[in-house]
Structure 1
Amino acid sequence: MTTEPGQVYLVDLGLAAKIRPMVVVSRKDANAPRALAVCAPMTTASRGSRYEIPVGRPGFLREQSFVNLQGLQSIQYHELKRMIGRLPDKEMQEVRRGLEWVFGLAGAKA
């Protein structure tokens, strides 16, 4: 299995977090040494934080959603239950900008 940035999978995050859509934010790497994808959870509840990137209401989701960059996790491929869709390029660009800000990478505005 190989994942690509922008793919959205359902992932069981356990009792408290429940089954939640997670967007892949790690690069496509067919030769990755481990079967892991770095993912961010999606939520419908915004707290108005810069860590929450609005992505509108993609056709595969029922409500307006946000990508929560504070919730980044490495997810094993076998935990990616089912791909339900892909974020449009425009929204993924905003997610990438958000990641630059989170990690203080070049070009990120404070």
Structure 2
Amino acid sequence: MARPEVKRGEIWLIDLGLAQKVRPAVVLSVPPLDQERALVSYVPRTTAVRRTRFEVSHTAPNFLPGVFDAQSLGTVPAVKLVRKLALMDSGTMNLVEASVCRWLGLATAQA
């Protein structure tokens, strides 16, 4: 099966299994080289908003109001990606990156 062409910042529908269902998620990882594992790291999008410091609000055409939840950061084989839905705007992507760094306790670059 051909590996889907996946780019950082794209929102994909991802099959996360029975527990988490098929849901939208933004891709965080860079595309792997041919000799590397075909894995994709992502932050899932949910409409179950809890208003935590690790959530980033997201509104866009064709999406219900929701958030990207950095606490649910994950990695799946690329074959679990169902289809590309959209490209995230750079401002929201920066907020998602900062939220992931906050969740993992990593330093972020200061502008």
TM-score range with shorter-chain normalisation? 0.7 to 0.9
For residue 80 of structure 1, what is the aligned residue in structure 2? Answer: 81
SS at match of 1:11: strand
Deviations 1:10-57 (A, max 9, x none): 1122223221101101234445611001011101111111121112x1
- Root mean square deviation, CA, Å: 1.8
Q: What TM-score does the superposition give when structure 1 sets the normalisation length?
A: 0.84
Q: Is the contact made by 1:58 and 1:87 (CA closer than 8 Å) also made in structure 2?
A: no
Identical counterparts, % of pairs:
31
For residue 21 of structure 1, what is the aligned residue in structure 2? Answer: 24
**How do residues 35-46 of structure 1 correspond to structure 2 at under 5 angstroms?**
35-46=38-49
SS at match of 1:15: helix
Aligned residue type for 2:92: E
Runs of 5+ in structure 1 lacking a partner? none
* Residue 3 of structure 1, CA deviation: 2.4
Deviations 1:61-93 (A, max 9, x none): 2x1120011111111111101001111111001
Runs of 5+ in structure 2 lacking a partner? none
Q: What TM-score does the superposition give when structure 2 sets the normalisation length?
A: 0.83
1:5 pairs with 2:8: yes
Q: Runs (4+) of structure 1 moved beyond 4 Å?
A: none
Cα 1:103–1:89, aligned 2, differ >3 Å: closer, same or farther? same
Query: How many corresponding residue pairs?
Result: 106
